[in-house]
Amino acid sequence: MILLGLLLALASCNQQSKTGPGAARGASVAQTSGGALRIWADPALKGALDALAPKFKALHPTGWTVEYKESVMLDQGMAGSDRPDVILCAAAESKKLRVNAAFDASTERTFAGDLLALVTRKARIIPVGRVGDLPQVQFKALGVGGPNTSLGYYSEQALVTDGAAKKVQKLTRGYGSQARLLAAVRSGEVDLGFVYASTVAQNPDLRVSTTVPEDLYEDIRYVALATKAGDSNPGTSQLLTFLAEDKDAQQTLGAYGYVDRATAMIENR
């Protein structure tokens, strides 16, 4: 009887070792390693990413979580230790990020493109021929992205290339985010503002004064970059392939006003 009792006790202990706290911790670790992707993205991509989220979740059930960060915040964030699995940003920003050892440059995938437009609010339509014509146009203020935003980077290129930057400098107002710039246009704080063409497509209350010729600024490409932190998450490679190659994803991006990947790649200089 004593021997039987010992055997039963050992069997009970063995069962607890399989189902107890230690086993639960192991299961949690396994789940986390393939958990939701952490993404840092340019705020200009928010509308399309919101629409794409359920489509991607059908392929990778844990889905993704997104933090929207302007260029300066991406730079500062990557200097720390808490990094995402994937970054989605304009190619101009990726050039700076690729020098960071936290990235594998070979993972970069172009998934969309964009154009630049000069807009007004509906209540005050101001026609503009070219960016270089701005010094002859009657307006009180011009809104551009701040120096630490991707929008500001491309807007400044257009102004400088077409010879208007210095001539309208006193009337130019920089904004740290596209959301703040749009609010300034809508409120009348500025009469004109540089935004992405995709933003115009998603905001029907804006009126286009002129579409900025593409020869005035670098081609705007949106790219996906995998960080070394994302190497252990199987969803990382799935996301890069999904954005760049999935036909449904590309159609959704097109519906939100972005240039499709094939065109963006051809135009890339």
Give the pLDDT of the chain (269 residues) as one tens digit per residue: 443 443 344 444 444 443 333 333 333 223 334 578 999 999 999 999 999 999 999 988 889 999 998 875 666 666 666 789 999 999 888 777 665 556 777 888 999 999 999 999 988 889 999 999 999 999 999 999 998 888 999 999 999 999 999 999 999 999 998 899 999 999 999 999 999 999 999 999 999 999 999 999 999 999 998 888 887 788 899 999 999 999 999 999 999 999 988 777 655 43
Amino acid 163 reads G
Domain match, 249 and 162 both: no
User: What pLDDT sits at residue 234?
Assistant: 83
Domain match, 172 and 198 both: yes
Q: What is the dihedral of CA 125, 126, 130, 131, to 10 degrees?
A: -110
Residue 32: which H helix or E strand, with range? Answer: helix 21-33
Q: How many alpha carbons lie under 13 Å from residue 160 in its C-beta half-sphere?
A: 8
Residue 118: which H helix or E strand, with range? Answer: strand 116-121
Q: Which domain holds residue 107?
A: 39-113+219-267
Amino acid 184 reads A
State how far Cα 57 lies from the chain centre. 18
Last residue of a domain, one of 183, 211, 239: 211
Domain match, 137 and 259 both: no
Q: Model-level pTM greater than 0.85? A: no
Say if 72 falls within a structural domain: yes
Domain match, 197 and 133 both: yes
Residue 64, token pair as written in the block = 């993704």
